Structures are given as C-alpha cells and as structure tokens.
C-alpha cells in the first residue's frame, strides 16, 4: 500500500533574499528535530544576485556598486552552484524536506528538481531538458530557462530552483549565468507560443509538478498572512 505523504506549501509572494535565507535556516533546524513536516516555500525575490559556496566572483562582470545603481543586491550563500540572478517574474521554490525520509540521494534529488521544471515547461508546449555535462539547471536548446542551487545538511534540503517565467533578461548580462559562458538565458514567456496565465497560476502549477514528481499526495496550503502569524519569533 502506498504511503500518503503531505507537503506544507507556504505561498509568500515577494520576499527579501536575506529574510528568506533566515527563514530557511530556522525551518531546516526545525525539520531536523521534526518540529515541522516537509515544507515548500514558493516566492519571488526583488532583484538579487547570489554566489554559491565556491565564491566564483570572476563570473560577476560588473562592480558591486553598479549592481546597486540598478537596484539589485549581491549576496554570498552556502548553496551549491555558481552565480545566478533572482528577480520579479521568476518562480522560486525552496524545499525544506528530508531526503532520508523519502529515500533520495543528492543526485536523484537534483534530477527531480530538473524534472519539475521540465514538466512545467511542457504544459506550455516548451520542450526543456536537463543540463548536459558541465551544465546545471534546465535548458531549451542552448538557452537556459531554469537554475538549480541546493544545500543539503544532515539530509535536509534548502535553497532550490528558480524558473524564469518572464523576467527582465537584461539583468543576466551582468553575470556569467551559473558560470557557463557563451550561453543565452531564456524564459517561459519567450519560448512559448501560447498566452501565459496570471503568474500565480504558474506558481501553483510548478508546486503541483513538484508534488507529483516527489510523490507528495496531499498539499497543505498556507498563505502569507497565516505564515507571518505563525512565525513571529523568526526575527
């Protein structure tokens, strides 16, 4: 008999990157001690560039002061992966889940994150694929549509994936996206031939793809108001 597994989903809207980082740290700690069950954060960030733990600053093509001039922040993180951009009109998922409980290794976990974005793209007639050797994330031909950068601590995940719905792609000109030179960045809006629905619909479709790929049979939705009420002690 198949075991029913539930996933708590927090729909958070637009969240400052450092606030999201602090929240993830708390939730990872709570998941390790089983104070919470598997949880998925669904959100967007204001314009933000992040570097992974390898600190590949050479892939940032402009001084940090130039980023401030365009209203963007730069943050260093402990996730895997290279430099990337987060901003409006991008769907971000941060899973806080126990890989041990679902019997997944790190490689399989990343592959399922890729599949989550590939399945979402297919809903709009876009044929996406996982990265080949030396490539990370999800691609449409030779154009990157989704990024992945994860952290796993004692079997508990954080950070996650970012799918370009229809962001301002000019932000990517200031970096070598994910450390891969001479590659374009694209978006769902640019690749599909159908009119996109409201972004909230796409966010929910991405969540549904994630739940299906990872075998969660029950989704418990929490909106932003209830999250803030339940987590006043995070600050």
- Residues designated as active site: 178
Is 133 annotated in a binding site? The answer is: no
Is 72 annotated in a binding site? The answer is: no
Is 85 annotated in a binding site? The answer is: yes
Is 107 annotated in a binding site? The answer is: no
Is 83 annotated in a binding site? The answer is: yes
Is 105 annotated in a binding site? The answer is: no
Is 82 annotated in a binding site? The answer is: yes
Residue 200: partners with Cβ closer than 8 Å, 6 or more residues away: none
Is 147 annotated in a binding site? The answer is: yes
Task: Name the binding residues for substrate.
Answer: 79-86, 147-149, 160-162
Q: Can you say which residues are annotated as belonging to the binding site?
A: 79-86, 147-149, 160-162
């Amino acid at each position: 008999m198949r075991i029913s597994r539930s996933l708590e989903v927090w729909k958070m809207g637009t969240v400052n990157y450092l606030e999201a980082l602090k929240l993830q740290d708390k939730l990872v700690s709570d998941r390790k001690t089983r104070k919470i069950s598997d949880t998925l954060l669904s959100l967007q960030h204001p314009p933000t560039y992040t570097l992974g733990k390898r600190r590949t600053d050479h892939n940032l093509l402009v001084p940090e002061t130039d980023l401030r001039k365009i209203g963007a922040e730069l943050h260093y993180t402990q996730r895997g992966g290279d430099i990337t951009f987060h901003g409006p009109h991008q769907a971000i998922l941060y899973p806080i889940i126990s890989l041990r409980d679902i019997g997944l290794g790190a490689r399989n976990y990343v592959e399922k994150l890729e599949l989550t974005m590939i399945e979402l793209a297919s809903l709009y007639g876009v044929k996406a694929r996982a990265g080949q050797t030396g490539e990370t994330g999800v691609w449409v031909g030779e154009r990157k549509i989704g990024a992945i950068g994860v952290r796993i601590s004692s079997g508990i995940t954080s950070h996650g994936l970012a799918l370009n719905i229809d962001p301002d792609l000019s932000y990517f000109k200031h970096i070598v996206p994910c450390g891969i030179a001479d590659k374009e960045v694209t978006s769902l809006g640019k690749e599909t031939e159908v009119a996109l629905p409201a972004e909230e619909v796409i966010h929910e479709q991405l969540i549904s793809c994630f739940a299906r790929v990872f075998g969660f049979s029950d989704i418990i939705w929490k909106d932003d108001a209830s999250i803030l009420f339940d987590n006043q002690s995070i600050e």
